[in-house]
Structure 1
């Protein structure tokens, strides 16, 4: 990817993260902020919106850092494990989801609390990851991309989500998760478009240089 398209890729991800962050922020904390809308307190609404814009921007940037880190890990995995890389990813996905349930339940569950609330979070993340991975495999017309895409959507999202998972702050729980999921899905599905555009621009630049050389 050339620099211009990388910048476009980053800012499009950033704008999506900001938009989702604002919407999710007001939705998750509606009970705290609904009086601002009822009383038409525009200055307070504006300040709160700016706060959620900043939060969304941070999450979008974290998502993109995670995505490029994943691409590095993926290349390393292909080189080291070769044909075993997909089975290894399946094992890691299962292990990470198990830990998401087991460790959080042991750390935060009250006495007598059911484990199912913790299982549902992991199941939700897995189902979203499965849908995005299916779309990725369909987009690339290659079934082998399903497992890497699922690995990214599950494992990378949980890794990016760790700061909130450690504190178990319920408001931040969804405020961080939703923008991360949306930004991760967008990057996974849109990267080929930017790569293709970069390739096209390089070819056009090469052709233009060749024409200029002939003209001289």
Structure 2
């Protein structure tokens, strides 16, 4: 990938993260916007918009760091484990989904329902499967498992700071731009390279 294409990928992903986080904040942080609209405070509203946009830029950068780390780990895995690498990735996907449900449920304490955690993991898997399927259709069959691994495992690792927070606001505010940015980078990579990748 040329430096010009990398800059394009970086900037478009940055904008995507900022815009989606800002849009998500209108729903997740509706009370914060209500406080500055009644009574109307222009400067505080601008401050909120800048804050959530900046937060989205940070989420986007986390996504991009995860993407390039994934590319390195993937090549390392191919070189070290060779034919076993797809099976190892599937195991890590299963473990991550189990972790996303079981350990979060245990941390929630007594009286908590397992269903929100289960539905969250299933939602992540469903979105990841769709993205991996598109990647496979646009490239080759070998790209499916690595794409699914990236969307499930790497996204979850990037999501950890929000998952460890006390409230649920930032859990949802972070996962939407992360999923979008990760999917965008994954599906744009082979187009920027102008050739069909192998195992990307």
Give the structure-1-normalised TM-score: 0.86
For residues 125-164 of structure 1, the aligned pairs below 5 Å read: 125-140=124-139, 142-164=140-162
Residue 194 of structure 2 aligns to a residue whose secondary structure is helix
Counterpart in the other structure of 2:112: 113
**Aligned equivalents of 1:36, 1:132: Cα separation in 2:** 38
Are 1:60 and 2:60 counterparts? yes
Higher helix proportion:
1
Aligned partners of 2:61, 2:94: CA distance in 1, in Å?
A: 27
Pairwise CA distance, 1:38 = 6.2
CA distance in 1, matches of 2:166, 2:184: 26
Tell me the CA shift for residue 194 of structure 1. 1.6
- 1:77-96 to structure 2, matched below 5 A, reads 77-96=77-96
Q: Tell me the distance in 1 between the aligned counterparts of 2:76 and 2:83.
A: 12
Corresponding residue of 1:182: 180
The answer as to whether partners of 1:18 and 1:56 remain within 8 angstroms in 2 is: yes
- Deviation (angstroms), 1:35: 4.7
- Residues in 2 aligned to 1:181 and 1:37: alpha-carbon distance in whole angstroms: 30
Following TM superposition, where does structure 1 have runs of at least 4 consecutive aligned residues deviating by more than 4 angstroms? 37-40
- Consecutive unaligned residues of structure 2, counting only runs of 5 or more, are 196-200
2:193 corresponding residue in structure 1 = 195
CA offsets 1:129-186 (integer angstroms, 9 cap, x no match) = 001111111111x111111101000000000011111224211111111110100000
- Residues 153 and 185 in structure 1, CA contact (< 8 A), matched pair in contact too: yes
Alpha-carbon separation, structure 1, partners of 2:42 and 2:189: 38
Structure 1: where are the runs of 5+ without partners?
A: 198-216
Task: Supply the distance in 1 between the matched residues of 2:65 and 2:130 (Cα, whole angstroms).
Answer: 22
Q: 1:21 maps to which residue?
A: 21
Note the aligned Cα RMSD (angstroms): 1.5
- Quote the residue 2:31 is aligned against: 31
CA displacement at 1:43 relative to structure 2: 2.3
- Which secondary structure does the structure 2 equivalent of 1:167 belong to? coil
- Structure 2 Cα separation of the partners of residues 75 and 169 of structure 1: 37
Once the two structures are superposed, the pairs formed by residues 92-103 of structure 1 within 5 Å of their partners are 92-103=92-103
- 1:39 Cα deviation (Å)? 5.1
Cα distance, 1:32 vs structure 2: 2.7
- SS class of match (2:164): helix
What count of residue pairs does the alignment treat as equivalent?
Answer: 195
Deviations 1:51-83 (A, max 9, x none): 011100000000000000000000011111111
Paired with 2:37 and 2:8, the residues of 1 have a C-alpha distance of 34
- Please give the alpha-carbon distance, in whole angstroms, between the structure 2 residues aligned to 1:67 and 1:150: 13
Alignment match, 2:198:
none
